[in-house]
Amino acid sequence: MSECGSCSSGAGPFSEGKELVEFVYGAHDGAIKDLPVPNDGLETKCQGCGEPFTMKTFVDKCPKCGGVHAISPPQSDDQANIQFAGKDFKLPE
């Protein structure tokens, strides 16, 4: 697989947890975070509060608690690859 220009920080599309959320949020100067997840999104449960929701973009928030989740494009075919940033994580404004 070729290197991504945004991977120079050491984090990459196969990172986990907060590291993946931060990577996807900043990848390609933020161009990926708001793109739609293929196939109308991924059904999941918030890894913070357990609320079911559909992850529609590569970085998305739980509608109940605001927990931030992300998935990288190369792994977006399986909800098991969704990563959670942690209960206290907030996206930059």
Residue 21 lies in a domain: yes
**Residue 35 gets which letter from DSSP?**
S
Task: Going residue by residue through the chain, which has 93 residues, state the pLDDT in tens, using 9 for 90 and above.
Answer: 334 544 445 678 888 999 999 999 999 999 999 999 999 999 999 999 999 999 999 999 999 999 999 999 999 999 999 999 998 898 887
pLDDT of residue 69: 97
Give the contacts of 30 (CB within 8 A, at least 6 positions apart).
none
> What domain count does the chain have?
1
What pLDDT does 74 receive?
Answer: 93
Contact 20, 32 (CB under 8 A): no
Of 72, 85, 80, the C-alpha closest to 38 is 72
In a domain, 44, yes or no: yes
- Residue 37 inside a domain? The answer is yes
Is there a domain that residue 6 lies in? no
